[in-house]
């Protein structure tokens, strides 16, 4: 299975490893990337069959016969590249967020209606063993219908959004689109309901400051004493090329915490909160889903699911195997994409789900910026 890659970034490299792990017939036949010369040189150093390199997406699509395409560009380019790939009808693996503006989201939606190609959106939480187990329990009726959700994501590696290119909000679209897009998607999936309105708030309390714009950790006098320094002896495991800028400089973008309340069609609502300056054991990602019969609680970091029954003195606990990429969801996405290329499967995480999640995030961002409730409608 010959793969074409547009934007050969670190995330897509991980996905390619998963694909090869599932089926070693998968190989990268072509790469379109503005860094094509650098990538080619690194490929030669590693050895192995060298793909053909192209400066533009159009050149690659015109000259190559491919079985599937993966888009791993920076976030702001996801829509533009997808618009060029959709007319080919080839199976497409599209990184999230699928768009970073309402205008791009609308363009992508219209293009998908004209060219309904098979698209798999990179939502590994939805496909993880944990969410699949939670979905199974909810669908069994064990806790009753879900009438309330309390979700949280405390990110211990939040520095990535303030040290490197992610610090540019023009690229990321804000951190609802970077993180909450996953969580909103799995909540939509678990509840089986449509969101109709959202209100939100963001704060920037920690990763701000008056250090000079463009300051790099390696050039800072506080590089050894700063807890967030990427150039200190305590952080040698990080790569300065990728983690280089001061997160307390005046040009550091992105909020460092955010919360949203989402109303669903039944009247049920979800509360969601995310944070980017917790560290170590403070990591939390999961939710409580509350029905009349019981409450289901899960946390990706503890690999546990608990069901608290409301009317009997019983708590059921489920333990899952840890230490898998994206909590085990990546390998499922890889298997699914291979099935799509073989013509034997449909996407488990569709472009429709990616569009809806991005719309929720964009409306949450708008709500936070304007202090208004936002309707989630096209």
pLDDT digits (tens, 9 = 90+) for 146-175: 999 999 999 999 999 999 889 999 999 999
Domain total in the chain: 2
Claim to verify: residue 272 and residue 342 sit in the same structural domain:
no
Q: Which two tokens stand for residue 350?
A: 């569709």
User: For residue 64, is the peptide bond before it cis, meaning its omega torsion is within 30 degrees of 0?
Assistant: no
236 pLDDT above the threshold of 70 = no
With respect to residue 354, please indicate whether it lies within any of the assigned structural domains. Answer: no
Residues 23 and 140 in one domain: no
Who's near 303: CB < 8 A, 6+ residues apart?
130, 319, 320, 321, 322
pLDDT of residue 232: 82
Residue 66: pLDDT above 60?
yes
pLDDT of 42: 84
44: in domain:
yes
Is the pLDDT at 96 greater than 90, yes or no?
Answer: yes
- Give the confidence band of 321 by pLDDT, cuts at 50, 70, 90: confident
d(CA 368, CA 288): 24
- Which pLDDT tens digit goes with each residue over 241-261? 556 899 999 999 999 999 999
Give the domain range for residue 315: 126-320+359-375
With 0-12 CB in 10 A as exposed, 13-18 as middle and 19+ as buried, what is 52?
middle
> Which CATH number do you get for residue 91?
3.40.50.720
CA-CA distance, 348 to 346, in Å (whole number)? Answer: 6
> CB of 34 within 8 A of CB of 55?
yes
Q: Are 370 and 240 in the same domain?
A: yes
Domain containing residue 171: CATH number: 3.30.360.10
Residue 78's φ and ψ, nearest 5 degrees, are -55, -45
**Is 216 found in the same domain as 164?**
yes
**Does 301 lie in the same domain as 280?**
yes
Output the CA–CA distances (angstroms, integers) from residue 175 to 52, 335, 362, in the order listed: 35, 28, 10
Q: What is the pLDDT of residue 322?
A: 65
Distance CA 272, CA 27 (A): 39
Higher pLDDT, 50 or 260: 260
- R_g over Cα of the chain: 21
**SS3 of 309, please?**
strand
Mean pLDDT of 85-110: 98
Tell me what the pLDDT averaged over the chain comes to.
Answer: 94
CA dist 64 and 94 (Å) reads: 19
Same domain, 334 and 244: no
Q: How far apart are CA 230 and CA 219, in angstroms?
A: 11
pLDDT band at 70 (very low <50, low <70, confident <90, very high): very high
Q: Are residues 218 and 289 in the same domain?
A: yes
Closest CA to 299 of 334, 272, 327: 327
- What is the per-residue pLDDT for 190? 98
29 in any annotated domain: yes
Do 143 and 202 lie in one domain? The reply is: yes
């Amino acid at each position: 299975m010959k793969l074409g890659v547009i934007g050969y970034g670190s995330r897509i490299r991980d996905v390619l490893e998963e694909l090869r792990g599932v089926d070693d017939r998968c190989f990268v036949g072509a790469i379109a990337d503005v860094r094509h010369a650098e990538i080619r040189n690194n490929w030669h150093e590693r050895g192995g069959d060298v793909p053909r390199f192209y400066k533009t997406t159009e050149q690659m699509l015109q000259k190559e016969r491919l079985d599937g395409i993966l888009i791993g560009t920076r976030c702001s380019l996801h829509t533009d590249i997808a618009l060029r790939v959709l007319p080919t009808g080839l199976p497409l693996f599209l990184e999230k967020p699928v768009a970073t503006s309402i205008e791009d989201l609308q363009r992508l939606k219209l293009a998908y209606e004209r060219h309904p190609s098979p698209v798999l959106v990179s939502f590994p939480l939805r496909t993880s063993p944990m969410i699949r187990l939670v979905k199974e329990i909810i669908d069994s009726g064990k806790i009753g219908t879900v009438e309330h959700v309390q979700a949280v994501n405390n990110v211990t590696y939040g520095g990535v959004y303030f040290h490197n290119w992610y610090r540019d909000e023009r690229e990321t679209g804000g951190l609802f689109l970077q993180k909450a897009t996953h969580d909103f998607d799995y909540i939509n999936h678990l509840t089986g309901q449509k969101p109709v309105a959202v209100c939100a708030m963001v704060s920037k309390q920690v990763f701000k400051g008056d250090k000079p714009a463009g300051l790099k950790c390696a050039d800072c006098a506080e590089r050894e004493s700063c807890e967030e320094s990427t150039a200190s002896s305590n952080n040698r495991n990080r790569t300065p090329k990728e983690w280089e800028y001061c997160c307390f400089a005046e040009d550091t973008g992105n909020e460092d915490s955010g919360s949203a309340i989402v109303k669903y069609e039944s009247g049920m609502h979800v509360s969601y909160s995310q944070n980017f300056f917790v560290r170590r054991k403070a990591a939390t990602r999961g939710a409580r889903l509350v029905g009349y019969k019981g409450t289901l609680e899960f946390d990706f970091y503890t690999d546990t699911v608990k069901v608290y029954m409301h009317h009997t003195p019983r708590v059921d606990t489920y333990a899952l195997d840890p230490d898998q990429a994206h909590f085990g969801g990546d390998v499922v996405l890889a298997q699914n994409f291979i099935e799509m290329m073989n013509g034997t499967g449909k996407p488990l995480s569709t472009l429709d789900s990616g569009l809806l999640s991005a719309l929720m995030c964009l409306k949450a961002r708008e709500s936070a910026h304007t202090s208004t409730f936002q309707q989630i409608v096209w």
